[in-house]
């Protein structure tokens, strides 16, 4: 489903209230509403005190910023700020834009924002790059310990102490947090990396074990770090076991295993400045999980300022920019990942998806074909090709792409249900129902309770008027798992309609329309149910509405026929 485009509110008034991004759990509301209303004036208020020559640049810059064009925004707002240097609002907005655009002017403007926590972090980055570790540590000590900054601040302080050569002091800084159950795994991991870097191998081993205990299911970054330690400690089999567990967390990660295995003995975090970048990345991931995307991007920019080749940070930033409807920015972000990076295969898959989204599908398909040759054991490039073809309603071609992906599977496991489901969808839309049915059933054998498979198979049977009792049971199981899914609720109403239970179908389909009001098929189904209970005027209204909601060509023909004849056609009762 397409989400409505929202303007990027990079109202970093985290710049003055970063810790206000939440008490202990930030949300999009706290990240935008409180800070925006209390600190950022509306354009009218902000421009009232500006000289006339400044207003145009200010408004142009603010507009460019809202559109994600940070370079243009920085140029316009820096010009406005230079013309009126005493205006704190202009200074703040110019700093925001310069920070977004990775412009060097951000450091100069940061010195004029003594109350801004993000400005202090920018200045600390400058100190780190100049080797002024004690100055950076002093800035980090000045951060307040409230909200999620109580997680970030001790990590930054400890890494600055490590950069200054004081490993034992750094470990002492983190020890109380390692002993506290809240976020223990994160603190233990950073303390382990500090001990590792400082040659405190016994303590590093203890802390890495604590990390594994606290964070039982590793993510990609944690697995890289833990596997590297095991390999460098003479435990290559354990290192390989850790990495081999990643596809169980996310099947996409399987394609990165060769690159990760080849780099086992390299330190993922080889310096204290890289440790600071790691802390920013950790904080960004937490913020992104709480939908505080603007704040997360600030942290990622700080991380990339210290470590431009930080592929994991670029991936996360690209994911956020794509979710904010800026695929071109996301693509530029990923284009800067070196081809030698251990996770380059994942980056290349994401690039192909972005290239397709930008309307260059032929280029995306060529990129994926090249990836399929590079990684002959991975089904992912062909799976992604199938997804692109299916989105373009080239269903036979999509089924063929999924054929190639499935042929690459050595032994299908529970996580591979989605491949058989996707191929089943392409086959059903290609009118190859026996093949589709077999694939749906195989997907359920691999993972019996997948609601989307239960729903698709149950709906298909209902639509054909077959096995209606079994179809309803399947859809009801899916609805138990996803009670607020509009498509599944629609399927449940449709099978009720097919069974002849029109009254209950109306109630269920009305709820489906509430959940998915812009779906043509759901509105059409509700029209059919209205007609069945004698509400014929409302039925015709729903059919007309469905015609305005971009139905498929086949569905549009059916809707026109219903409106012309005044009824939906025969109803299969299954009885």
Answer with the residue of higher pLDDT: 65 or 269: 269
pLDDT (0 to 100) of residue 6? 28
Instruction: Report the alpha-carbon distance of residue 185 to residue 282 in Å, rounded.
Output: 12
Identify the band that residue 218 occupies on the pLDDT scale cut at 50, 70 and 90. Answer: confident
pLDDT at 91: 85
pLDDT tops 70 at residue 26: no
pLDDT tens figures, 28-74: 333 333 333 233 333 444 445 555 567 877 787 777 777 777 788 88
Q: What pLDDT digit, counting tens, does each position of 305-333 carry? A: 999 999 999 999 999 999 988 899 899 99
Predicted local confidence at residue 568, as pLDDT: 78
Global pTM reads: 0.80
8 Å CB contact between 424 and 406:
no
Sign of the torsion formed by the C-alpha atoms of 253, 259, 264 and 266: negative
Average of per-residue pLDDT values in the chain: 86
Of all residues in the chain, the percent with pLDDT exceeding 70 is 89
Residue 395 has pLDDT above 80, yes or no: yes
Residue 420 near residue 443 (C-beta atoms within 8 A): yes
Report the 10 Å Cβ neighbour count for 182.
10
Q: How does residue 113 score in pLDDT terms, banded at 50, 70 and 90?
A: confident
Q: What is the pLDDT of residue 457?
A: 96
Q: State CA 274 to chain mean position distance.
A: 24
> Span 449-575: which CATH code?
1.25.40.10
Share of the chain above pLDDT 90, in %: 67
Greater model confidence, 251 or 450: 450
Domain locations along the chain: 449-575
Mean pLDDT of the region 495-524: 96
**What is the pLDDT, as a whole number, of residue 510?**
97
Mean pLDDT in residue range 119-142: 95
What's residue 336's pLDDT?
A: 93
Question: Is 60 exceeded by the pLDDT of residue 432?
Answer: yes
Determine the 3-state secondary structure of 373 from DSSP: helix
Q: How confident is the model at residue 519 (pLDDT cuts 50, 70, 90)?
A: very high
The tens digit of pLDDT for each residue in 396-405 reads 999 999 999 9
Residue 30 DSSP one-character state = I
109 pLDDT more than 60: yes
Per-residue pLDDT of 533-544, as tens digits, reads 999 999 999 999
- Burial class of residue 564, CB neighbours in 10 A (0-12, 13-18, 19+): exposed
> Please, are residues 196 and 159 in contact by the beta-carbon 8 Å criterion?
no
**Would you report the helix, strand and coil content of the chain in percent, each value rounded to 5?**
75, 0, 25
Cβ atoms of residues 47 and 55 within 8 Å: yes
Q: Is the pLDDT of residue 486 over 70?
A: yes
Give CA–CA dist 51/41, Å, rounded. Answer: 16
**Tell me: the pLDDT tens digits for 276-312?**
999 999 999 989 988 888 889 989 999 999 999 999 9
């Amino acid at each position: 489903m397409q989400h409505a485009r929202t303007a990027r509110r990079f109202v970093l008034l985290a710049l003055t209230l970063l810790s206000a991004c939440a008490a202990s759990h930030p949300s999009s509301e706290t990240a935008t509403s409180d800070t925006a209303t209390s600190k950022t004036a509306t354009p009218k208020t902000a421009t009232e005190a500006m000289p006339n020559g400044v207003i145009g640049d200010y408004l142009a810059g603010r507009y460019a910023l809202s559109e994600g064009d940070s370079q243009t925004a920085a140029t316009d707002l820096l010009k406005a700020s230079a013309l009126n240097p005493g205006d704190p609002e202009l200074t703040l907005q110019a700093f925001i834009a310069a920070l977004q655009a990775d412009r060097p002017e951000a450091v100069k403007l940061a010195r004029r924002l003594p109350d801004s926590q993000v400005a202090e972090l920018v200045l600390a980055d400058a100190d780190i790059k100049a080797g002024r570790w004690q100055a950076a540590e002093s800035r980090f000590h000045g951060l307040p310990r409230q909200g999620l900054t109580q997680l970030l601040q001790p990590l930054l302080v400890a890494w600055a102490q490590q950069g200054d050569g004081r490993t034992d002091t750094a470990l002492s800084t983190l020890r109380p947090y390692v002993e506290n159950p809240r976020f223990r795994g994160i603190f233990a991991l950073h303390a382990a990396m500090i001990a590792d870097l400082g040659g405190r191998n016994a303590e590093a081993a203890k802390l890495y074990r604590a990390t594994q205990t606290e964070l039982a299911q590793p993510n990609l970054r944690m697995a890289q770090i833990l596997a590297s330690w095991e390999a460098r400690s003479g435990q290559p089999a354990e290192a390989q076991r850790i990495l081999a567990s990643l596809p169980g967390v996310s099947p996409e990660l399987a394609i990165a295993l060769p690159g990760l295995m080849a780099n086992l003995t390299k330190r993922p975090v080889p310096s204290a400045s890289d440790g600071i970048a790691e802390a920013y990345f950790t904080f960004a991931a937490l913020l992104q999980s709480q939908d505080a995307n603007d704040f997360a991007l600030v942290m990622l920019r700080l991380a990339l300022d210290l470590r431009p080749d930080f592929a994991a940070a670029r991936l996360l930033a690209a994911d956020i920019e794509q979710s904010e409807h800026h695929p071109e920015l996301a693509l530029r972000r990923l284009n800067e990942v070196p081809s030698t990076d251990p996770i380059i295969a994942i980056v290349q898959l994401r690039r192909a998806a972005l290239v397709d989204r930008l309307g260059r599908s032929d280029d995306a398909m060529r990129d994926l074909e090249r990836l399929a040759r590079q990684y002959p054991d991975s089904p992912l490039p062909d799976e992604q090709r199938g997804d692109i073809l299916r989105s373009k309603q080239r269903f036979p071609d999509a089924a063929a792409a999924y054929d190639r992906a499935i042929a690459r599977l050595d032994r299908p496991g529970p996580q591979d249900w989605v491949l058989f489901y996707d191929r089943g969808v392409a086959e059903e839309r290609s009118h190859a129902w026996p093949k589709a049915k077999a694939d749906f059933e195989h997907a359920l054998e691999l993972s019996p309770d997948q609601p989307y498979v239960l729903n698709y198979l149950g709906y298909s049977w209902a639509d054909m008027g077959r096995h209606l009792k079994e179809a309803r049971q399947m859809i009801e199981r899916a609805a138990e798992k996803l009670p607020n899914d509009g498509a599944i609720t629609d399927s449940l109403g449709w099978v009720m309609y097919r069974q002849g239970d029109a009254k209950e179908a109306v109630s269920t389909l009305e709820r489906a329309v509430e959940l998915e009001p812009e779906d043509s098929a759901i509105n059409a189904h509700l029209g059919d149910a209205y007609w069945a209970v004698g509400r014929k005027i409302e039925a015709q209204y729903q059919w007309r509405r469905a015609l305005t909601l971009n139905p498929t060509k086949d569905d549009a023909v059916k809707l026109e026929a219903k409106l012309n004849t005044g009824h939906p056609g025969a109803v299969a009762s299954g009885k």
